[in-house]
Chain A
Amino acid sequence: MSKVIEEIHAAARQLLEDGKVDVVIGFEKGTLPLKATPCFIRSPQEVEKLIWDETCDNNLANYVRQIKGKKAIVAKGCDTRALVVLMQENQVAREDLYILGVSCNGVINRKKIEAETGEILSAELAEGKISVQGMNGSKEFAFADVKDDTCQSCRYPNPVLEDAHFGDKVETGNQEVPFADVVAMEEKSLLERRAYFQEEMAKCIRCYACRNACPMCYCNECFVDCNSPKWLTGGVDPAENMMFQVGRSLHLAGRCVDCGACVRACPQGVDIRALSRKVTKDCLTMYRHEAGVTLEDPPALNQFSTEDPQGFLVKE
């Protein structure tokens, strides 16, 4: 067992014993190989269940709103950014929260492994190597190859807000062109982009797993569930899928922290980040704003300047 996890156990035990928090939100070993499950520890005897490794891919900030009382949370960089936005939107009180910060090297994307081995039957994780036994054979992977795309381009692997830190800080890789994927898409022609997105949206089955995994999707009534007006009919129609995904991305404008939880939750492998990252890039280039980096800077659409660009206006 690693030193980091022992330190997290000790800190969690101390917090619960002292009565500083009612619950510790973290990860435990899941029932599927290479998939950790969020867990909620309420007594000091249970803290041994907590784990921390490259399989902990949910964004735990999602659960903070739903749990009453004082809570501690094991949070990686993107989780803390989501917490910052939730605090700015008055969904979480800072004084109710104790953040156990961990630096993150990235998480595994099981889809990348399953593409080669079929359904994962069992897996061993050790020192940057993952040996997998799958339905269609076994294979050894290097962690860097099966790391989630979000984590490949992560710019905030270390928590932006924390009460205690565990383990070493992770160096941020210097990216030559941030948003290289979005830029590549922008350079394509209108028809190529349309074809790409229409193909992606045709895959979507509107199970709303992306919405449920998203810490920022907390509307009491989501527009997709709304009956009056009935924004979406509930039928199978790629144009409606597009409306759902575009509508959702615009709701997340200036708030999305690009944690990639939506993409990892998607059973159909829809490239949701192609939409959300475009909006994120626009917020950065037009308004010099990145969501959830500091508590002082409110979300991009909560503020304005008289100098904002208006190149979108109709040509006259």
Chain B
Amino acid sequence: MVMGEIQESVNLPENQEFQPKIVAFLCNWCSYAGADLAGVSRIQYPATIRTIRIPCSGRINPLYILKAMANGADGVLVSGCHPGDCHYISGNFVARRKFALIKSLLTHVGLEEDRVNFSWVSAAEGGRFAEVVKGVTDRVSALGPNNGVFKVAERRGTDE
């Protein structure tokens, strides 16, 4: 074994798995409260998500999703109230049309289907929130790190 390789094997334990970074945009009224419920109920789920609280899933601008990936996120999860339960009556109905087009276009330009995820989680579904995060984490882990379709090369200082 060459010196470099030994060094590498010392620095990287064999059992170290790829831990994805997932940006989670959660609606204030349902999914954020659902995540909170998962927490206070002590339900275990992977610590892969970075939560960003948004007032409503209708607040999602496609650029938020693109920018998250430009800054290096391995995956994105967007979650809001179930259709019909929106705090603002129709916010998630408007969002639903937008999400369908975003997902379809991103897949069309060559982004893996599992990188960007959308779901509806209510404030009562703490257990389900944990399941969604587990599922998304598994699938993004299987894809591996952000492959650069939208990721801007290092040292470009995009996070102003």
Q: Mark A residues whose CB is within 8 Å of B.
A: 185-186, 190-191, 193-198, 223, 227-231, 233, 235, 237, 239-240, 242-243, 246-247, 249-251, 253-254, 275, 278-279, 282-283, 286-287, 300-301, 304-306, 308-316
Question: Is the C-beta of B153 less than 8 angstroms from some C-beta in chain A?
Answer: yes
Q: Which of the residues B84, B96, B109, B160 comes within 8 Å of A246, measured between beta carbons?
A: B109
Known: A237-B156, A239-B151, A314-B119. A250 touches B136 (CB 8 A): no
Question: Is the C-beta of B106 less than 8 angstroms from some C-beta in chain A?
Answer: yes
Known: A312-B118, A314-B118. A246 touches B135 (CB 8 A): no
Q: Mark B residues whose CB is within 8 Å of A.
A: 62-63, 66-67, 70, 77, 83-84, 90, 93-94, 96-112, 117-120, 131-132, 135-136, 139, 148-153, 156-158, 160
- Once the chains bind, are A237 and B152 in contact (CB under 8 Å)? yes
- Chain B residues lying within 8 Å of A253, measured Cβ to Cβ, are 98, 101
- Chain B residues lying within 8 Å of A311, measured Cβ to Cβ, are 100
- Once the chains bind, are A191 and B110 in contact (CB under 8 Å)? yes
Q: How far is the CB of A180 from chain B (nearest CB, A)?
A: 15
Complex formed: what's the CA distance from A239 to B73 in Å? 14
Main secondary structure on A side of the interface with B: helix
Complex formed: what's the CA distance from A251 to B94 in Å? 14
Complex formed: what's the CA distance from A113 to B151 in Å? 37
- Once the chains bind, are A314 and B117 in contact (CB under 8 Å)? yes
- Chain A residues lying within 8 Å of B110, measured Cβ to Cβ, are 190-191, 193-198
Known: A198-B149, A243-B66. A230 touches B158 (CB 8 A): yes
Q: Which of the residues B105, B131, B139 comes within 8 Å of A250, measured between beta carbons?
A: B105
Q: Which of B132, B136, B148 has most A Cβ within 10 Å?
A: B148
Q: How far is the CB of A43 from chain B (nearest CB, A)?
A: 45
- Chain A residues lying within 8 Å of B131, measured Cβ to Cβ, are 316
- Once the chains bind, are A235 and B97 in contact (CB under 8 Å)? no
- Once the chains bind, are B156 and A233 in contact (CB under 8 Å)? yes
- Once the chains bind, are B97 and A278 in contact (CB under 8 Å)? no
Complex formed: what's the CA distance from A304 to B94 in Å? 6
- Chain A residues lying within 8 Å of B136, measured Cβ to Cβ, are 314
- Once the chains bind, are B66 and A249 in contact (CB under 8 Å)? no
- Chain B residues lying within 8 Å of A198, measured Cβ to Cβ, are 110, 149
Chain A to chain B contacts (Cβ below 8 Å), 26 pairs: A190-B110, A191-B110, A195-B110, A228-B160, A233-B156, A233-B157, A237-B156, A239-B70, A243-B66, A243-B150, A246-B105, A246-B109, A247-B63, A250-B98, A254-B101, A275-B108, A286-B101, A301-B97, A304-B96, A304-B97, A306-B83, A311-B100, A312-B104, A314-B136, A315-B139, A316-B132
